[in-house]
DNA sequence: GATACGTGGGC
DNA sequence: TGCCCAAGTAT
């Protein structure tokens, strides 16, 4: 493969330029203020397929609640999932939790040092193992995530054929480029460059510290797109006053099947079939929203129902676990992202702290009709 | 290697 | 009632 940084001298210049750019431009993110392997691990798992901006608050809350491997290991899985609610890819949380328990049992409660050993933990793949080892332990191993892959493809150019872009070639290129003296910082700098300058669309080549080494100046092949599918779904909002002068309410929730492929064991509003809608004589929905999950658009309508009405419906006798949950306990429940969104919009969810100012609260974007 | 797994934000 | 995709992993 032809290489825009073929000589060691070229690579060294690349490193210096990248690292000095990073020193000036690194975003101030909470997990960058520590080298605690546990915290790095938590942040890396949260960051899998998830934007840094989304992770910031969740990371802070998570670390506050589970400051150590031991505290995480001792927690109940449902409490871990409750903190993960809305982040998606819930398997990550389960694996993080089970890995913490494994470490308590078999590794003296600490994370292994090498990327090779880290790689054996559930939920820790090549990327995460390299990230933890390089950032927290200074191991000279390069990470290749989506950002690094894009940066390298652009810097190195397409090369001779499809093989040149294989994972193995990219990993090799990344390791040749790696700064042996500061692997953790170098890795983060490469990712930061991808996340903030070498963007998938409209890369900011004018601001790129290593543009002199770049063969392509920003070209990037488009990926095949996937067809979106539309699905309609209906949910019931069943409330019951709790006393206290009617100030507090309880909401009826159901738990998804433990063997469901999506969001197993998570809690959501009771679903209503078409038959239920007729049967319940439901009138107008209190809420219509769109909720996208991977390649499916859910067009969701929420109908307010009296407890007694709901009890009479066929769906109510399904074998799912049901429970009344006090509104002020909702933050402790492992809700699906959709359930969380609905309860927030309808002002049932006791909002933790965030005060929104100057913004129209109903998110507008995914509201429909 | 392909596919499933969630969600929010940007345009 | 769009489309992309983000600090991936497991199967």
Catalytic annotation, residues of A: 44
> pLDDT tens digits, chain A, 369 residues: what are they?
445 577 999 999 999 999 999 999 999 999 999 999 999 999 999 999 999 999 999 999 999 999 999 999 999 999 999 999 999 999 999 999 999 999 999 999 999 999 999 999 999 999 999 999 999 999 999 999 999 999 999 998 865 344 456 788 889 999 999 999 999 999 999 999 999 999 988 899 999 999 999 988 887 666 666 777 888 899 999 999 887 666 689 999 999 999 999 999 999 999 998 888 777 777 789 999 989 888 888 899 999 999 999 988 877 777 678 999 999 999 999 999 999 999 999 989 866 544 333 333 343 334 444
- The number of helices, as runs of H, and strands, as runs of E, in chain A is 14, 7
Residue A325 gets which letter from DSSP? E
- Which among A54, A77, A51 has a CA at the least distance from the CA of A66? A77
Task: Tell me how many degrees the CA angle A177-A182-A184 measures, rounded to the nearest 5.
Answer: 90
Question: Does the CB of A195 fall within 7 Å of any strand C atom?
Answer: yes
- Residue A6 CA, distance from chain mean position: 36
Tell me: the pLDDT tens digits for A201-258?
889 999 999 999 998 888 766 666 677 788 889 999 999 988 766 668 999 999 999 9
CB atoms within 10 A of CB A285: 17
Question: Does the CB of A139 fall within 7 Å of any strand C atom?
Answer: no
Tell me: the pLDDT tens digits for A33-79?
999 999 999 999 999 999 999 999 999 999 999 999 999 999 999 99
- Give residues 129-188 of chain A lying near strand B (Cβ < 7 A): 166-167
Q: How far apart are CA A90 and CA A152, in angstroms?
A: 30
Q: What's the maximum distance between 2 C-alpha atoms anywhere in chain A? A: 77
Q: How far apart are CA A230 and CA A64, in angstroms?
A: 39
CB atoms within 10 A of CB A333: 23
- Which among A26, A79, A78, A89 has a CA at the least distance from the CA of A55? A89
Q: How far is the CA of A303 from the C1' of C6 (A)?
A: 34
- Which among A144, A180, A174, A133 has a CA at the least distance from the CA of A35? A133
Residue A214 gets which letter from DSSP? -
Q: Which domains does chain A have, with CATH numbers?
A: 8-213 (1.10.340.30), 229-345 (3.90.79.10)
Question: Does the CB of A147 fall within 7 Å of any strand C atom?
Answer: yes
């Amino acid at each position: 493969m032809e290489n825009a940084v073929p000589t060691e001298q070229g690579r060294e210049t690349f490193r210096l330029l990248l690292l000095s750019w990073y020193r000036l431009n690194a975003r101030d993110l909470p997990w960058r203020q520590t080298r605690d392997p546990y915290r790095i691990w938590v942040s890396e798992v949260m960051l899998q397929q998830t934007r840094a901006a989304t992770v910031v608050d969740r990371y802070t809350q998570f670390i506050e609640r589970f400051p150590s491997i031991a505290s995480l290991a001792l927690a109940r899985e449902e409490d871990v999932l409750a903190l993960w609610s809305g982040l998606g890819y819930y398997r990550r949380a389960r694996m993080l939790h089970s890995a913490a328990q494994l470490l308590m049992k078999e590794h003296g409660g600490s994370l292994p040092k090498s990327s090779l050993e880290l790689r054996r933990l559930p939920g820790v793949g090549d990327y995460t193992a390299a990230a933890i080892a390089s950032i927290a332990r200074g191991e000279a191993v390069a990470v290749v995530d989506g950002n690094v892959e894009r940066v390298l493809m652009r810097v190195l150019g397409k090369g001779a054929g499809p093989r040149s872009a294989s994972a193995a070639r990219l990993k090799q290129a990344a390791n040749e480029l790696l700064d042996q003296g500061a692997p953790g910082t170098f890795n983060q700098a490469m990712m930061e460059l991808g996340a903030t300058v070498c963007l998938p669309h409209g890369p900011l080549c004018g601001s790129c510290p290593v543009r002199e080494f770049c063969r392509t100046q920003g070209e990037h092949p488009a990926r095949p797109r996937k067809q979106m599918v539309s699905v309609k779904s209906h949910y019931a909002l069943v409330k019951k006053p709790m006393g206290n002068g009617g100030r507090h309410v309880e909401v009826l929730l159901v738990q998804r099947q433990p063997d469901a492929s999506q969001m197993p064991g998570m809690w959501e509003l009771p679903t209503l079939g078409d038959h239920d809608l007729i049967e319940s004589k439901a009138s107008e929905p209190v809420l219509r929203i769109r909720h996208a999950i991977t390649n499916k658009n859910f067009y969701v309508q929420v109908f307010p129902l009296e407890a007694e009405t709901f009890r009479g419906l066929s769906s109510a006798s399904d074998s799912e676990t049901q429970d009344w949950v006090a509104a002020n306990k909702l933050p402790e429940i492992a809700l699906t992202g959709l359930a969380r969104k609905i309860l927030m919009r309808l002002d049932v969810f006791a909002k933790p702290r965030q005060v929104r100012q100057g913004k129209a609260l109903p998110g507008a974007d995914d509201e429909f009709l």
